[in-house]
Structure 1
C-alpha cells in the first residue's frame, strides 16, 4: 500500500508547490497562473479514491495539506512589494479551503462510486471546487472577517467594481472568486479524459 500511496503523494505535493508559486503571477485581469494548476489536486484525489479507496485518498490529501502549510510558512518569511508574500489570512484561508474541499470531495465520490464512471468525479469535484473557492476568497479577503488579522489591509480586495468588468458592482474579490470558480468548473470537465485513462492504466497494473 505504501507504494500505491507514494505516486499520489508526490503528484499532490507537486501540484500544491507549483500552485503556490504560480499564484504570484497574473493571467489577465482576474486570474493567476495558479488557477490552472490547483484544480488538478481534485484529479489526483479522485484517481486515488477510485483505484485505492477513500482511506488512501485521505492520506494523499493530508500530505497535500502538510505541503501547503510548509509553503505558507515559507511565504510568510519572504517579503514582497507590499509585505509578506503570504499573510496569516491567506494561509488560514488556503489550508481551510483545501482540507475542507478535498475531504468533502472524497466523501461525495465514495457515495457515488457505484454509479456511472463519470458521475462520481464530476459531482464531487464540482461541489468540492465550489466550496474551495467560496471558503478561500471569503476567509482571505472579505471585509467582514478583518478580525482574523486586523493589521492586514485588504481594502484593495474590497474595492467596488463591476463583476468581471461587466456585471453588478461587487467587491473586487468576488470577481476574482467567480473567475477562479469558472476555471475550476471547466477543468473539472476537461479532467474526465485523463481521469478515465489514468484509472484504466493503474487498474490494469494492479490486476
Structure 2
C-alpha cells in the first residue's frame, strides 16, 4: 500500500524461532556443557605447535560457539542466553568438585603422594581457567548471539551464512581477548610476544574453524528447523 509520500512501504521481515519443547535443545545444551568442562581442563596446558602457541582446549572450544550459533538461530537470544548461563553454572560446579577432590586427604605412601601432586598439577589451575572462560564466553557468546538475532530481525530467513560469519568475528574476538588476558599466566605465558601470539592464534583459529564449518552449521540449522514442531510459532 502506498505511503503518504507516494513511496511503497516495505514490510520488515519477522524473525521466526522455536520454543523449547523437543529434545533437540536439551541435547545441544548437554553437549555444550560437556565441551566447556573438557575445554577448561585442556586449557590449563600450554601447547606449542611450531611457531604457534595455544592451549590444550583449542580443538574443543569452537564447537561450543557453533552450538551457540545453532541455538541462537533456532530458539532466539533469550533461550541461547539461558544455555550460556546453565553451561557455566555446570562448569563452576565442576571446578568446585576439583577443589574438593584436591583437598581431600589421600594415601601417604609414595604412590599416593605422586598421585596427589599429579592431580594438583592437572586440576589445580582449573578454577582460574574457569573464571577466564566464564567471563570470556559469557561476554563473547552473548554478543555473538545478540548480533546473530539482530541480523535475523533484518533479513528474516535469508543469508544465514552472513549471520553466522558476522556474529562469529565479533564474538570470538571479545572471547579470545578476555580469556587470554586472564588465562595466560596459568599456562605459563609471561612475555608480550607470546601473549600476542596466543591471542592472535586463538582468534584466527577459532574464527577460521567456525568459517570452515559454516556449510555444516547451515545444514544442521536447516535440519533442526524442519524437525522442530514449534519453529515459526515464536516471534522475537
TM-score, structure 1 as length reference: 0.78
Q: What's 2:166 paired with? A: 123
- Contact residue 92 and residue 130 of structure 2 kept, 8 A: yes
Q: What's 1:37 paired with? A: 60
The CA deviation at 1:155 is 10
Q: Which range moves more in the overlay, 121-130 or 67-76? A: 67-76
The CA deviation at 1:206 is 2.4
Higher Cα Rg: structure 1 or 2?
2
- Contact residue 31 and residue 180 of structure 1 kept, 8 A: yes
The 3-state SS of whatever aligns with 2:160 is coil
Q: What's 2:196 paired with? A: 174
Q: What's 2:80 paired with? A: 57
Matched, 1:196 2:201: no
Contiguous gaps of at least 5 residues in structure 2:
1-19, 103-118, 230-236
Contiguous gaps of at least 5 residues in structure 1:
143-153, 160-169
Structure 1, residues 18-77: CA drift from partner, whole Å, max 9, x if none? 312333453625123411210111111111111122222122112221122123334445
Structure showing greater relative contact order (alpha-carbon pairs closer than 8 Å, 6 or more residues apart): 2
Q: 1:180 to 1:196 in 2, by over 3 A?
A: same
Q: What's 1:147 paired with? A: none
- Contact residue 40 and residue 133 of structure 2 kept, 8 A: no
The 3-state SS of whatever aligns with 1:31 is strand
Residue 158 of structure 1 is aligned with which of 181, 190, 193?
190
Distance in 2, Cα, partners of 1:2 & 1:64: 19
Q: What's 2:14 paired with? A: none
Q: Which range moves more in the overlay, 186-195 or 3-12? A: 3-12
Matched, 1:105 2:128: no
The structure richer in helix per residue is 1
Q: What's 1:85 paired with? A: 125
Matched, 1:17 2:37: yes
Structure 1, residues 126-179: CA drift from partner, whole Å, max 9, x if none? 11100001011113347xxxxxxxxxxx694223xxxxxxxxxx3422222222
Residue 46 of structure 1 is aligned with which of 55, 69, 75?
69
The CA deviation at 1:9 is 0.9
Aligned length: 185
